[in-house]
């Protein structure tokens, strides 16, 4: 565990952006070889998979994601990241493990070593270190790069995501566990000109403003109160100067849903509204709508959840395995399970200081405390090292052993 803690601090200090996780991938590959795994590198650009086969029996896949985020760290930790990199647009950005993927990698390394040293199971263990979860493309990239031609198809896909639950707790739910995500780039084209003569232009800034406001009606007026959807306009970009009406405006829109029907309704409404606002403004050409990130909802198989729950409760105790219900964050781990035709079980790993939760006796009380803590993607997000790592390793090991065969 001391070695794993050092690995964690090293990974936290050296985050890498999506599809650029070469240092992290190299560390994972070297560790797996040391543990006796057959190692495949460069799957889906930077993905790494280790296979440890012990004769006939079930195949269990454990997964961790590797990429960091373009966030400048503000934790003040002695091992805080000062890394910088060029993003896909060529912009120099700070990089941080603001989502806890360094925890995921470290726990999977520990689980791989522990299971490799355990002679009490048969079957095949597959450990997978995935790139580019943050852009919702890494799992698909690995599948498209012949993942399941290189390694056995699993009977189950298992994984975890660190969250500001108290360290020592695990969150497990059946059915939809993480929301589907869809990110769209909307380009609105007007006719530019001088700000003093708006009558000679078609203003895309006004067009964009009207579109942003109208998009807010989708959830409030087109989605049933019993369904769930989130529509966020995360960026609005246009213009360079106060007295110049630009030719174009760009909106970046993100959608979160659980139900495929609701997902279709929301995406269709976005297209309808964008096109209608452009037409109402007299745009000379129609808008362009490009989907650039997408992942389906993570749906935990009910039977597989109950089978795995027994292992997790054996690790942390019955009262420490809570049901958080579905979360509106998104993950692409379900792509790995769907491509294999296997059930998925994905749980939350508590990483917050347990002292902050004194007196929080149930999930609603925990959620109120969580709302006051730095969360994933925050520049101040910093899981406590222990007991987070120890429980994260134990949870993966115990879950895998429930699915692997006995000797």
Known binding-site residue numbers for Mn(2+): 99, 101, 134, 161
Q: Which residue has the tokens 């794993």?
A: 4
> How far, in Å, are 53, 149, 171, 239, 338 from residue 160 at the CA level?
23, 25, 9, 43, 17
**Start-to-end CA span in the chain (Å):** 27
What is the C-alpha separation between 274 and 186, in angstroms, rounded?
A: 8
Pick from 85, 106, 102, 103: nearest CA to 94:
85
- State whether residue 272 is helix, strand or coil: helix
Query: Are 263 and 182 a contacting pair, CB within 8 Å?
Result: yes
> Which residues lie closer than 8 Å to 120 by C-beta, 6 or more apart?
401, 406, 407
Query: Are 238 and 250 a contacting pair, CB within 8 Å?
Result: yes
C-alpha 10 chain-centroid distance: 21
Query: Are 145 and 117 a contacting pair, CB within 8 Å?
Result: no
What is the C-alpha separation between 51 and 162, in angstroms, rounded?
A: 24
Annotated binding site: 99, 101, 134, 161
Cα three-residue angle 225-228-233, rounded to 5 degrees: 110
Dihedral, CA of residue 180, residue 68, residue 87 and residue 134, to nearest 10: -10
Q: Which residue has the tokens 């000379």?
A: 284
Count CB neighbours of 57 within 10 A: 17
C-alpha 181 chain-centroid distance: 10
Dihedral, CA of residue 155, residue 123, residue 178 and residue 109, to nearest 10: -160
What is the C-alpha separation between 330 and 136, in angstroms, rounded?
A: 8
What is the C-alpha separation between 333 and 126, in angstroms, rounded?
A: 14
What is the C-alpha separation between 102 and 99, in angstroms, rounded?
A: 8
């Amino acid at each position: 565990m001391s070695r794993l803690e050092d690995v964690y601090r090293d990974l936290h200090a050296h985050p890498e952006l999506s599809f650029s996780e070469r240092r992290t991938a190299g560390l994972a590959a070297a560790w797996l070889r040391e543990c006796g795994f057959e190692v495949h590198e460069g799957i889906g650009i930077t993905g790494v998979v280790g296979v440890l086969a012990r004769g006939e029996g079930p195949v269990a896949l454990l997964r961790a994601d590797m990429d960091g985020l373009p966030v400048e760290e503000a934790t003040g930790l002695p091992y805080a990241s000062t890394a910088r990199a060029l993003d896909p647009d060529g912009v120099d950005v700070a990089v941080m493990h603001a989502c806890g993927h360094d925890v995921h990698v470290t726990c999977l390394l520990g689980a791989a070593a522990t299971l490799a040293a355990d002679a009490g199971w048969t079957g095949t263990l597959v450990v997978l270190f995935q790139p580019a979860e943050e852009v919702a493309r890494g799992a698909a990239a690995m599948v498209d790069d012949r993942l399941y031609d290189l390694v056995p198809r699993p009977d189950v896909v298992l994984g975890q995501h660190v969250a500001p639950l108290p360290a020592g707790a695990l969150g497990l739910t059946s059915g939809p566990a993480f929301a589907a995500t869809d990110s769209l780039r909307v380009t609105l084209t007007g006719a530019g000109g001088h700000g003093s003569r708006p009558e000679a232009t078609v203003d895309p800034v006004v067009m964009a403003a009207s579109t942003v406001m109208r998009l807010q009606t989708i959830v409030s007026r087109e989605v049933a109160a019993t369904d769930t959807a989130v529509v966020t306009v995360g960026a609005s970009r246009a213009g360079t100067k106060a007295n110049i009406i630009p030719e174009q405006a760009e909106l970046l829109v993100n959608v979160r849903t659980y139900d495929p029907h609701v997902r279709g309704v929301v995406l269709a409404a976005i297209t309808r509204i964008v096109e209608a606002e452009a037409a109402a403004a007299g745009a000379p050409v129609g808008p362009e709508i490009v989907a650039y990130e997408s992942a389906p909802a993570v749906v935990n198989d009910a039977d597989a959840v109950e089978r795995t729950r027994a292992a997790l409760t054996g690790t942390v105790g019955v009262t420490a395995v809570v049901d958080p219900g579905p979360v509106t964050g998104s993950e692409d781990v379900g792509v790995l399970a769907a491509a294999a035709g296997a059930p998925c079980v994905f749980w939350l790993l508590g990483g917050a200081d347990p002292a902050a939760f004194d007196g929080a006796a149930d999930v609603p009380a925990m959620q109120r405390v969580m709302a006051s803590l730095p969360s994933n993607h925050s520049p101040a997000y910093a899981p406590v090292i222990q007991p987070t790592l120890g429980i994260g390793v134990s949870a993966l090991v115990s879950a895998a052993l429930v699915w692997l065969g006995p000797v």
